[in-house]
Amino acid sequence: MDIDEHPLYDLENVEKTCLGPVENVVILKGLNLTVQAGESIAIVGASGSGKSTLLHLLGALDVPTSGRVLFDGVDLAALLPDAKAQVRNSKLGFVFQFHHLLPEFTTEENVAMQAIIAGLQRSKALGLAREALDRVGLADRAHHRVTTLSGGERQRAAIARAILAQPRVLLADEPTGNLDDRTGKLVGSLMLELNQNLGMTLIVVTHNRELAGTMERCLELRSGELYEETRNRSHCTGPVMHGMADGGIGRTGHAGGDQ
C-alpha cells in the first residue's frame, strides 16, 4: 500500500453510550484504531466488554455516539440508509456464532439468497453460490438441505454466504463459539485461508485465545478502552506495553500506553 493511501478503517475517538434507566452506560470510550487492507485481526475481551458493539460499528450496523468510523475514507455514519446498505451488501461479509441458515432450502439456495433478494438473477446467484461453496470445501453439499449438514459444515456454508460478493472485509462474531475444538480449528483455518488467498481483511471477535493467536494483530477491550497486544504471531498469551520495557499493555492509537 502507498503511504499516502488512507487505511481501510480509521476510527477517530469513537465512543458509544446507551441509555439506561438511571444513568447512561458507556460501552466504548474514545477508541482510535487503523486497519490496513488485508490484515487479520482478533478482538478479545470479557463478556459485555463491547466487542460485538465495536464489530457492529465496523459493519455499518450501528453508529457511534461520537467520533467517526471511516471506511475507505468515508464516514459510515454520514451515509444515507441506501448507501450504507450498499456498503454492507457489496463490501462487507458477516459471519455470526449461529449460522442463520433456513432449513427449508438447500445449501446453495441459502448461500445465494441474499444476492437474489438484492435483485441478482437467480441462475447467476446460484452459480456464484456454487463457486463460494467450492472455496469452503462444500461443493458436494450444494444440493443438500442444510438440516443434513454437520455444525461445522453449516458454519462453512455461512462463510460461503458471507464471501459470495467477494467483499473487502469479513467480519466474524464468535464464529467458532458453537463448535467443538477440532471443528473450530478447521473453521478458523478456513477464514485465514480466505484472508491470505483472496486478500480479504479479516476481523474476528472471539473468546478463543488459540484462534486469536493465529491472527496478525490481537486487540483487547477493557472497561470500554481498546488495547493492542504486542506479541509473536503464533502466540497471544498476554498483553505487552507498546513502547515501554516493563511489560503491560498499550492503547491503540497512542505511542506510549498510559495517557
Domain-wise residue ranges, the chain: 9-251
**Segment 225-233 long-range contacts (CB within 8 Å, at least 24 positions apart):** 225/29, 225/30, 225/31, 225/251, 226/28, 226/31, 226/32, 226/33, 226/54, 226/251, 226/252, 226/253, 227/251, 227/252, 228/252
Q: What is the rounded average pLDDT of the residues 87-96?
A: 90
Q: Is 68 left (phi over 0), alpha (psi -120 to 50) or beta?
A: beta
Q: What is the rounded average pLDDT of the residues 19-47?
A: 90
With cell 460478493, the residue in question is: 165
Which CATH number describes the domain made up of 9-251? Answer: 3.40.50.300
Q: What is the pLDDT of residue 118?
A: 82
**Which of 135-139, 148-152, 195-199, 235-239 is least confident?**
235-239
Is the model's pLDDT at 62 over the cut of 90?
A: yes
- Round the average pLDDT of the chain to a whole number and report it: 84
What percentage of the chain exceeds 90 in pLDDT? Answer: 56
Q: What are the residues whose beta carbons fall under 8 Å from the beta carbon of 240, sequence distance 6 or more? A: 229, 230, 231, 247, 248, 249, 250
Q: What is the rounded average pLDDT of the residues 34-42?
A: 95
pLDDT band at residue 10 under the 50/70/90 scheme? very high
Rounded distance, CA 8 to CA 6, Å? 7
Q: What is the rounded average pLDDT of the residues 112-126?
A: 89
